[in-house]
Amino acid sequence: MSAGEARARRGRVVSDADETTRAGRLRLVVPADWPFAVRAGLEPVLAGWLLIVVPTLAVFAATSSMDAAAALSVGTALRTGTGLWGLGLGGAWGSPASPDGVIGLPLMGATILQALIIRWSVHRSHLIRSLSGLWTVLTAMATGALIIIASSPEESRMWTAVPGLGALTALLVFGHLQRSGRGLPGADRWWSRRPRWADPALGLVRGTAVAMAMLVAVVAAVAVVQGAGRVGRLHDALSAGGITASLGLIALQAGWVPTMLVWALAWLAGPGFTVGTGSLFSPDVVIADTVPAMPILGLLPDAPLGAAGVYLPMVITIAAMGAAWRRRRELLGLELGESLLAAVTATLVVTLGCLVLALAASGPIGPGRMARVGPHLGHLCLFIALEVGVGLVAVAALTHPTTRRLTARGMAATADAADAPLHSTRERMDAGVEAVRERRAAARESRRARADGADDGPAAERVGRAFILTVGD
């Protein structure tokens, strides 16, 4: 069927459905494109589930015993595949009362795979309004619930995967509708009234996230180079030399690669992460203990960096400064207060994003001490906020013209304040010198006057006597 024929068919279906839903109040709850909304919710859930279950069945068939009953029994493999799929959506596999404990560490690779399938399906369906998106979300949750009811592992808490699936679907569906102009009009009006510092703040978020991702990639590459030998030995021991088992083990570990990247971020930031209670992996401290025999855990650091590990988290601050420097022109176009507000907002958004990632990379992987695995949430948020915030705020403040003017004024005022005592001292010294000069001049005048008075006294007496004699004659 050509693309034109497909569009024509879709138009007929929408037209027929629209005619059906025009009667009474039904049109308020049933969108005109409800068949496509249902399909957009049904097919990505089934596709994501099958992409995990089918390889699980293949691995089970390749590694099972030659016993006919074991080979024909697919229930265990089916429940295993459903459990792995549920781990990617927030489910928990196992029971605290069982000897194996609970596996609740999210399989983030499965989450990303499911998100990509949902995104593809939503783009393909061309939903027309928000009500269609709601039908898609409800259909996806209903489909996920049926899968879990039918094939969930025994004594597991897989029902939590249903709201996780719903949240993931809603985020992608309504995000797509809003970007395409078919979402909530109130949201568009609200976003159109956003303050002018909002766009620079989002630019800082994107730049900082990209810079941190590059740093994490470097850390991961170094870990792979150093731990490749340990990973290879563990892999060979578990796969038993079978190709199918080897591929299955690789696929399973690929699902936890994003989790390891989040752990690398926690390690780079400074607080590190734990793999079991009592353990700690950070740049300056490594406290290792027994870990599960998973090949990917061979990448864990086996020794601290020493003194260099204390200063390593500063690279995040440098990366944030670089991201802010690339956006300095946008920041310079704002007032100083707006520029600082953009930097602080970006810091909060990045910290919140790291918190979400840390939650997705934390959970139990077994009984006892293995019930605590992942980064320490509070410490990670604090370190990220300080490291990113210092970098962004420093560039936003120090490069702004207002800051330079205030700095120049402050330096001038400081110079004037420093010169004021010196001027006062000079004036007092000049006044003292002048007073000494005046006193000396007055003393000289006084001595001269006294000297003149002593010389003029006898002469005046003689003149007076001569005048008296003349008058007497």
Residue 168 and residue 124 in contact, taking contact as beta carbons nearer than 8 Å: no
Residue 314 and residue 268 in contact, taking contact as beta carbons nearer than 8 Å: no
Both tokens of 47, joined, read: 């596709």
What pLDDT digit, counting tens, does each position of 19-50 carry?
Answer: 555 544 666 788 888 889 999 999 999 999 99
Q: Assess if residue 259 is contained within a domain.
A: yes
214 & 354 share domain: yes
- Collapsing DSSP to helix, strand or coil, 67 comes out as coil
Q: Assess if residue 146 is contained within a domain.
A: yes
Handedness of CA 257, 261, 262, 263 (dihedral sign): positive
349 & 417 share domain: no
229 & 360 share domain: yes
At residue 472, does pLDDT exceed 70?
no
Q: Assess if residue 58 is contained within a domain.
A: yes
Q: Which amino acid, residue 196? A: R
284 & 419 share domain: no
340 & 423 share domain: no
Predicted TM-score (pTM) of this structure: 0.80
38 & 184 share domain: yes
DSSP-derived letter for residue 153 is: P
The span from the CA of 136 to the CA of 343, in Å, is: 37
141 & 235 share domain: no
The span from the CA of 371 to the CA of 163, in Å, is: 23
Q: Assess if residue 52 is contained within a domain.
A: yes
406 & 393 share domain: no
Question: Of 192, 219, 236, which closes a domain?
Answer: 192
- Quote the mean pLDDT of the chain: 82
Question: Of 192, 207, 241, which closes a domain?
Answer: 192
242 & 314 share domain: yes
Q: Which residues of 32-44 are buried (b: 16+ CB within 10 A; e: fewer)?
A: bbbbbbbbbbbbb
Segment holding 458, helix H or strand E: helix 401-472
For 396, residues 6+ apart whose C-beta sits below 8 A from its C-beta are 324, 331, 339, 340, 342, 343
321 & 356 share domain: yes
Handedness of CA 250, 57, 259, 179 (dihedral sign): positive
405 & 394 share domain: no
The span from the CA of 224 to the CA of 230, in Å, is: 10
The residue to which tokens 């990209």 are assigned: 210
Question: Of 399, 418, 435, which closes a domain?
Answer: 399
148 & 228 share domain: no
Q: Assess if residue 412 is contained within a domain.
A: yes
Number of domains in the chain: 3
Q: Assess if residue 1 is contained within a domain.
A: no
CA-closest candidate to residue 137, choices 12, 41, 255, 17: 41
Residue 418 sits in which domain range?
401-444
Q: Assess if residue 470 is contained within a domain.
A: no
What pLDDT digit, counting tens, does each position of 359-372 carry?
Answer: 999 988 888 888 88
DSSP-derived letter for residue 270 is: S
What pLDDT digit, counting tens, does each position of 291-329 carry?
Answer: 777 888 888 888 888 888 889 999 999 999 999 999 888
Q: Assess if residue 469 is contained within a domain.
A: no
Confidence class for position 390, pLDDT limits 50, 70, 90 = very high
